[in-house]
Amino acid sequence: MPDTPAGPESPAKPDSPESTVRREAHRGIYDRETIHAILDEGSLAHVGLIAADGRPVVIPTLYGRDGDVLYLHGSVASRLVRSLATGVPCSVEVTLVDGLVLARSAFLHSMNYRSVVVFGTATRVEGDQLLHGLRVISEHLLPGRWDEVRAPDTIELRQTAVLAVAIEEASAKVRTGGPSEEPDEDLALDVWAGELPVVTRYGAPVPAEDLRDGVADSAAVRRALHAQS
């Protein structure tokens, strides 16, 4: 689909030819501030790699960012951990959907979004760095929750793996604006066109069925709900 509206221009240059946005190149953004902001707003990453059997694999996972390092969560038995812990290159992708762009023509429909692709090599972390990575991931998902709950015990830590991926190369891609129309034909159609914004919000908290009487609401949950009001 033709898709011309651009995102904001970025003064930064690509890290390498591999991380350069080629399709709709005018939407590529390379400054770390924008890349970090998109990563921080997302909640789910997709990790792409070539598995040990030679097949390409994309796996969803939780993550958190600390500076220019992404921490990826996994089980010690997962294919993601078994493959990446050997030091193979990978890519990590996060996308935020901001709106559906509705044109008068089905061909010209599009989507407003912000996305980041990171290229790097994963390493498995241990000891104090494992706990640090788990805390970073927890605080990314719900700030303040880590200090409200019991820390992982020795058995749980043996079952949990965290991979660190240094953000060696990265690029963002952003689309904003309305539909791109063909002025001689589509603009004469009496069909509504514009953007339908997509907003992600928390709903009302649902207590666990076995929650003990008198347990107060979580401060971390209350802060999250207040922040979106």
d(CA 162, CA 67): 16
d(CA 123, CA 218): 34
**Residue 57 in domain:** yes
Residue 58 CA to chain centroid, in angstroms?
Answer: 14
Find the length of the chain. Answer: 229
**Residue 126 in domain:** yes
**Residue 169 in domain:** yes
**Residue 92 in domain:** yes
**Residue 207 in domain:** no
d(CA 126, CA 172): 30
> How many structural domains is the chain composed of?
1
**Residue 159 in domain:** yes
**118 is in which domain, residue-wise?**
25-202
**Residue 38 in domain:** yes
H or E element in which residue 112 lies = strand 110-124
Q: Which residues contact 173 (CB under 8 A, 6 or more apart)?
A: 7, 21, 24, 27, 28, 29, 113, 114, 115, 116, 117
Q: What pLDDT is recorded for position 89?
A: 87
One pLDDT digit (tens) per residue for the chain, 229 residues: 456 665 555 567 767 677 677 777 778 788 999 999 999 999 999 999 887 778 888 999 999 999 999 999 987 777 777 777 777 788 999 999 999 999 998 888 999 999 999 999 988 899 999 999 999 999 999 999 999 999 999 999 998 889 999 998 999 999 999 988 776 678 878 899 999 999 999 999 999 999 999 998 899 999 999 998 8
Q: Identify the CA nearest to 7 among candidates 173, 170, 171, 118.
A: 173
**Residue 19 in domain:** no
The pTM for the full model equals: 0.87
CATH number of the CATH domain containing 51: 2.30.110.10
